[in-house]
Structure 1
């Protein structure tokens, strides 16, 4: 059984500096819920309750968030704020987290590798802490179903515009079922003309423990970082790897533009603020057109 999920959250978040000097990007709020909580809930809804956070010394707010805050709970109870109290208690009791320190930020592959002592010789999930996925089906649960059938590693992918393939790891593979591919190769951030497909890795992986062996012999790439994609290519030399093509909305909150668009879309889904927020947006657009003459 797959019992553990690894969430690599030790990165510096340089795109959001200086804000990330004090606040991890994974803790940036989507209205009133931090990004990281969406990923944890996705794991829990799939039945994976052991969450391993790969952190750095600058990521303590994540640890505090999933801990019990007795002073805050007592204050809310005294104020009679029962609904808020219920929400706070649910957050602190979502999971029994495990924290592993990545002492040097040497890439995603290295972050996964430092989790080996906790994961052990078991299959496990890797879920990136800045990618929110929303769809009718739980992506991690679907990956677990594929693993139960084939017993091999699974990578989640989604279709992107050809002009955007240079932003992602791209999968080359053969379609064997409606949404399942057998991977032949992976290419990290190829040029548009060199990309074998438009199937991009979406930040959800399910690995057999064999991946640790490959990570240990994966040479550092650009910037001295160990690339997870390179390790998967080495894994392909010994065992098959499948790709699950997902039909879901992917929100990449790891860039300023991605974070802002995620905020807007989630705000428009909220019945309590949608109408007033939409009026605000219409006013902003109207003033922008008047001031610039651009449509």
Structure 2
């Protein structure tokens, strides 16, 4: 079975929970410790073996793709000022994967955002990573999901347990538990009332 090499990262939301900070800076570019939140996500997907990263963006969010592009002038300035390590980091980041941006002209939900990326997918299976939560671990969570897909075939979802009172904020599933960490999905509903 061919490995998963492409990921769609929906990044077209308004970021209303982070206003006013997200009014002029996409929430994905807001810092988490020493780098933008989206960079943590991209580092995870690259560590998982992903080669093509497709951002589904919106008006005013092209700075996300810009962040992962080469910056020869900045690299030159950094090199001349003795900050070669930073210059090299920018270059390596830009060359570590193919970065693509697709515009979601109108916010029509997650399913629509994913469908917008369909034209860039070349494999039968691909990953979708929602950048709202960061999962930091070794191996990366996405690598574990890809490994499970390669062993079992079919589609695989990464899930987390949430309190029922917060169900209106998340997609919820029902299914049969196969092992302590694996479930066979029966049904799924997007953001039900508690």
Under a length normalisation based on structure 1, what TM-score does the superposition of the two structures give? 0.61
Pairing of 1:98-177 with structure 2 (within 5 A): 98-120=100-122, 122-177=124-179
Once the two structures are TM-superposed, the CA of residue 94 in structure 1 deviates from its matched residue by 2.8
For 1:162-207, what per-residue CA distance to the aligned partner results, in whole angstroms no more than 9, with x for missing partners?
4333322121111112311101112333344xxxxxxxxxxxxxxx
Following superposition, the deviation at residue 96 of structure 1 comes to: 1.8
CA contact (8 A) 1:25 1:130 kept: no
- Is the CA contact 2:75–2:88 (under 8 Å) kept in the aligned structure 1? no
State the 1:11 CA deviation.
1.5
C-alpha displacement of 1:158:
1.4
Q: CA deviation at 1:61?
A: 0.9
Q: What is the CA deviation profile of residues 238-292 of structure 1, one whole-angstrom value per residue up to 9, with x for unaligned ones?
A: xxxxxxxxxxxxxxxxxxxxxxxxxxxxxxxxxxxxxxxxxxxxxxxxxxxxxxx
Greater C-alpha Rg:
1
Name the one with the larger helix percent: 1
The CA distance in 1 between the partners of 2:192 and 2:94, in whole Å, is: 41
Consecutive unaligned residues in structure 2, runs of 5 or more: none
- Distance in 2, matches of 1:14 and 1:164, equals 17
The RMSD of aligned alpha carbons is 1.8
- Rounded to whole Å, the distance in 2 between the matches of 1:22 and 1:163 is 32
Q: 1:31 aligns with which of 18, 30, 33?
A: 33
User: Shift in Å at residue 57 of structure 1?
Assistant: 2.4
State the distance in 2 between where 1:170 and 1:127 align.
17
Q: Distance in 2 between matches of 1:136 and 1:45?
A: 10
Give structure 1 stretches of 5+ with no counterpart: 193-295
TM-score scaled by length of structure 2? 0.90
Q: Distance in 1 between matches of 2:51 and 2:12?
A: 20
168-177 or 85-94, which deviates more: 85-94
